[in-house]
Copies of this chain bind each other. A is one copy, B any other.
Amino acid sequence: MTEEHPPFHTEGCLAVSRVLARIGDKWSVLIVMLLAGGPRRFNEMKRMVDGISQRMLTLTLRGLERDGLVSRTVYPSIPPRVDYELTPLGHSLREPVMALGQWAQANLAYIAEAQAAFDRRGGAPEAAPAPAQRPR
């Protein structure tokens, strides 16, 4: 690594950022989790994810394919058929992602509560006439 690191240079923080820049978008993780169950076709995935636009599905798959996380197999049949599948690298990503998922599930309620408490004590008084008042 001949690169300049921030002063604190925690191992992995920059790497995490780069990974997050890739899978931190709205759909990538969902796709990876979906493909964890086996190869899927385009429209099949589109139906399953529900909410994703065709454009975003295409772009997301492109990105994942580019990063070597997903493989794309075209069967020149009629009608055309394209299978998307997790590569070994893609599968390996599942582990840390699942770990994050465990954490998320274990703490979702806690986070929700924290948010509610924060909002309650004037964290975001957007809809309130709250005077400029500082909690002491």
Contact = CB atoms under 8 A, between A and B. Distances in A.
B8 A34 contact: yes
A7 B33 CA distance: 12
Contacts of A93: 103, 107
Chain A interface main SS type: helix
A104 to B, nearest CB: 4
Interface residues of A, number: 61
A21 interface: yes
A66 to B, nearest CB: 4
Contacts of A13: 29-30, 33-34, 101
Closest 6 CB pairs of A and B: A12-B101, A68-B114, A24-B24, A15-B104, A13-B33, A19-B104
